[in-house]
Amino acid sequence: MAAVITAAADGSSLSNPGPAGWAWYVSDDCWAAGGWAHGTNNMGELMAVLDLLRQTRHVPGERVHALCDSQYVINSVSKWMPGWKRKGWRKADGSPVMNVELLKEIDAELAGRTLTFEWVKGHAGHRLNEAADVRARNAATAFQRGTTFDAGPGFQGAARETTPDVAPSRRSDQPDLFSAGPAEPPSVTDILLDLERALLSSEIRSDPRRLEALLHPDFTEIGQSGRLWTRSAALAELAPLDGLPAVEYVASQTLSVDLVLLTWRSRRPDRVVLRSSLWQRMDGRWRLRFHQGTPSS
């Protein structure tokens, strides 16, 4: 009978994007972790699954059962990826697939393999999920501080392909957007689209502290009604949305090394809004400086 390897896979990003970590966990004697100086939660979640596949490829007849709290990862790998491949790694609207290099590597590892997913609620006391979360967060924190972290024992008999267990200290001449890692880092567009999704999520909109971290000190917005929103008004009044709209990439324009104009659509069954966002990087973090939404057909 084929072996079933059950492991929790999780990712963590401080500021999202920011210093990021990933981890998978089977037991205290069988787990691994790594990270990047700059990445997203989604990157971490995908990398945890990728490394789990890499480190179990030598087990004869193995089946991998991954416990994930990320619907993005589960849907990307088990539902959407075949269609994206047929379209040349493009979405239905023609926009590029985000985190495509990690997804391509996962796809390569899946050749002749069996991978199943199970969704688990994050931060709800699930033993394996909590263990993976702690290790991913420790790696992210180490990359933030430039300190060491425990990369774990790995899977018995596996050839390690993980990132090192010493996080490089940040230097003034080191690019803060791209850092060494096991896969190609995300593009600026990917990072900003992830941030737009975060700003639409109830998790961020109901947390003033996290919302404040994403809005530029001089943030303003012209709403669909024509109202001019200030940063203080947005922090005080922004409410969770009823469901998460789809985010569709339209275009991006780099105005300077730290200033990008992103054009995108939010789509619901009853409403489509064309949006323009001006993102500025401050102290290594992207923050939204201006936003405007216009109803579209």
Q: Rounded to an integer, what distance in angstroms lies between the CA atom of residue 197 and that of residue 87?
A: 23
From the number of C-beta atoms within 10 Å of its C-beta (0-12, 13-18, 19+), residue 124 rates as: exposed
Q: Is 94 a catalytic site residue?
A: no
CA distances from 92 to 83, 84, 105 (A): 8, 8, 21
Q: Rounded to an integer, what distance in angstroms lies between the CA atom of residue 238 and that of residue 173?
A: 38
Q: Is 161 a catalytic site residue?
A: no
Q: Is 10 a catalytic site residue?
A: yes
- 286, 17 Cβ separation under 8 angstroms: yes
Q: One of 10, 51, 105, 221 is an active-site residue; which one? A: 10
Q: One of 45, 105, 194, 221 is an active-site residue; which one? A: 45
- 261, 290 Cβ separation under 8 angstroms: no
Q: One of 29, 123, 157, 237 is an active-site residue; which one? A: 123
Q: Is 29 a catalytic site residue?
A: no
Q: One of 11, 21, 34, 35 is an active-site residue; which one? A: 11
DSSP letter, residue 41: H
Q: One of 35, 38, 69, 109 is an active-site residue; which one? A: 69
Please identify which residue in the block is written with the tokens 């947005």: 234
Enclosing H/E stretch for 37: strand 30-39
Q: One of 51, 105, 109, 133 is an active-site residue; which one? A: 133
Q: Is 133 a catalytic site residue?
A: yes
Q: Is 107 a catalytic site residue?
A: no
Residues known to be catalytic: 10-11, 45, 69, 123, 133
